[in-house]
Amino acid sequence: MRQLASANVRALCALALTGLTACSHASLSLQRPALELVVQSSTLFPETIDYDAVRAKFLLGSFREGAIYVVAGDGQVSPLVDDPRLCSVLGIAVDAGRNRLWAVNADLGACSKPSAAGPKQLAAVGVYDLTTGKALDYVDLAPLLPGPHLLNGIALDQAGNAYVSDSFAPALYKIDAQGHPSVLLQSPLFAGDGINLNGLAVHPGGYLLVIKKSDGHLFKVPLAQPQQFSQVRVDRAFVGGDGLLLVGGRSIVIVANRTPEQTVNTAFALASSDDWASARVVAEQPLGDDYTTTAVARDGKLYAVSSKLNQLIQAAPEARAKLRFQAQIRVIGKVTNQW
């Protein structure tokens, strides 16, 4: 994608590449991961990366410290959101048009600020001022369904509504722009062993695309009639599917790492020509053993974050406090807009 001088135009382009605005078709290619920067903190263990086009900087949510950080070009980090209610930050989502930052808050027993609700019970979403990090809203989803819970992915639509996946309760939630929560969809097809529903994206055609980590199935969920959801027909599953990035309207990238039964550690590029009734794999790229989780588009490139987060989650409590790893942000592909 061509370089753009205006911050406002850069912000619009970034939104288009993450599926929040109507956008042109885009083609993407994957490449052998190339190191862009090393995060200059060894205690963050980020799960999700996003991009703030106004700052022209990456944002990272910390699974361990329960905060959100701005990443400078040299890898130095500075806190943007430091809310004492946050335990482990999983999905984050930038709403540049409303100057908001959304953050999923969960507890798997691996954070430095244990929640009052306890592991697998905390299920909340915070909303913050994108410029200052000031808390604007805090929405508790736990009362909507019995636990256990692991809120995981989050995606926004053009109206400012948020959609959240729950990896333990077989459900998707909606939080409207005024902060009112509801259960969008429940299904036994979303249940399974371990971590289930995970990354998701809002398609400008009015539906969600959601990856299920445990068995690798990809779902299409119409927002107006969610009960009419379907499994996207594709000739393979994406076991370990974690992050899902929509690129234009016809392509997605799935970042798959591992499950207890299977190690994948691969990025997959998928394309669809029938509005995601079906899809085909157009490229795949091994990512290595650093537990890559999510990806974001910036200025024509695809970036992914890896942090050995699995080691933090699996470590014994006494060993967890001693773990250190500097997360990496790597280029894993390119995006070309077809105007």
Q: Give the confidence band of 6 by pLDDT, cuts at 50, 70, 90.
A: very low
- The residue that leads in pLDDT, 318 or 2, is 318
pLDDT (average), residues 2-28: 45
State the distance between the two ends of the chain, measured CA to CA, in whole angstroms: 10
Q: Is residue 329 part of a domain?
A: yes
Residue with tokens 């000031």: 134
- The residue that leads in pLDDT, 129 or 26, is 129
Mean pLDDT for the chain overall = 93
Residue 1 near residue 335, CB atoms below 8 Å: yes
Q: Is residue 1 part of a domain?
A: no
The boundaries of the domain holding residue 124 are 7-338
Number of CB atoms found within 10 A of residue 36's CB? 17
Token output for 79: 């806190």
pLDDT for the residue 25? 73
pLDDT for the residue 106? 98
Q: Is residue 178 part of a domain?
A: yes
- Tens digit of pLDDT for each residue in 101-114? 999 999 999 999 99
- Tens digit of pLDDT for each residue in 190-246? 999 999 999 999 999 999 999 999 999 999 999 999 999 999 999 999 999 999 999
Q: Give the confidence band of 302 by pLDDT, cuts at 50, 70, 90.
A: very high
Q: Is residue 99 part of a domain?
A: yes
pLDDT for the residue 336? 87
| Beta-sheet strand order (sheet of 162-166) | 151-156, 162-166, 171-175, 181-186
pLDDT (average), residues 177-199: 98
Q: Give the confidence band of 7 by pLDDT, cuts at 50, 70, 90.
A: very low
Cis previous bond, 148, omega within 30: yes
**Percent of the chain with pLDDT strictly greater than 90:** 90
Q: Is residue 296 part of a domain?
A: yes
pLDDT for the residue 70? 98
pLDDT for the residue 10? 37
The candidate with the shortest Cα–Cα distance to 165, out of 204, 213, 119, is 213
pLDDT for the residue 55? 96
pLDDT for the residue 151? 98
Q: Is residue 57 part of a domain?
A: yes
Residue 224 near residue 206, CB atoms below 8 Å: yes
Instruction: Output the domain CATH number for residue 13.
Output: 2.120.10.30
pTM beyond 0.85, yes or no: yes
pLDDT (average), residues 115-143: 98
- The residue that leads in pLDDT, 13 or 261, is 261
Dihedrals phi, psi of 96, to nearest 5 degrees:
-65, -35
pLDDT (average), residues 59-65: 98
76-81: long-range contacts at Cβ-Cβ below 8 A with a sequence spacing of 24 or more? 76/40, 77/39, 77/40, 77/41, 77/44, 79/133, 80/128, 80/133, 81/126, 81/128, 81/133, 81/135
Strand partners, 102: 93, 127
Q: Give the confidence band of 337 by pLDDT, cuts at 50, 70, 90.
A: confident
pLDDT for the residue 65? 97
The candidate with the shortest Cα–Cα distance to 277, out of 237, 233, 246, 238, is 233
Residue 252 near residue 245, CB atoms below 8 Å: yes
The candidate with the shortest Cα–Cα distance to 151, out of 93, 90, 222, 213, is 90
| CA-to-CA dists, residue 12 to 163, 188, 331, 334, angstroms | 21, 37, 21, 18
Statement: residue 338 has pLDDT above 90: no
Q: Is residue 2 part of a domain?
A: no
The candidate with the shortest Cα–Cα distance to 145, out of 108, 181, 102, 119, is 181
Statement: residue 260 has pLDDT above 70: yes
Q: Mean pLDDT lowest for which of 14-18, 26-30, 231-235, 328-332?
A: 14-18
Statement: residue 18 has pLDDT above 80: no
Residue 70 near residue 80, CB atoms below 8 Å: yes
- Residue 225 backbone class (left: φ over 0; alpha: ψ -120 to 50; beta: rest): beta
Residue 234 near residue 280, CB atoms below 8 Å: yes
**Percent of the chain with pLDDT strictly greater than 70:** 92
Q: Is 14 strand, coil or helix?
A: helix
Q: Is residue 63 part of a domain?
A: yes
pLDDT (average), residues 29-50: 98
Residue 63 near residue 309, CB atoms below 8 Å: yes
- Report how many domains make up the chain: 1
Q: Which helix (H) or strand (E) holds 318?
A: helix 317-320
Q: Give the confidence band of 44 by pLDDT, cuts at 50, 70, 90.
A: very high
Question: Which residues lie closer than 8 Å to 185 by C-beta, 6 or more apart?
Answer: 171, 172, 221, 226, 227, 229
Number of CB atoms found within 10 A of residue 8's CB? 11
pLDDT for the residue 17? 42
How would DSSP label each residue in 180-235? Answer: -EEEEEE-GGG--SS--EEEEEEETTTEEEEEETTT--EEEEESSSGGG-EEPB-S
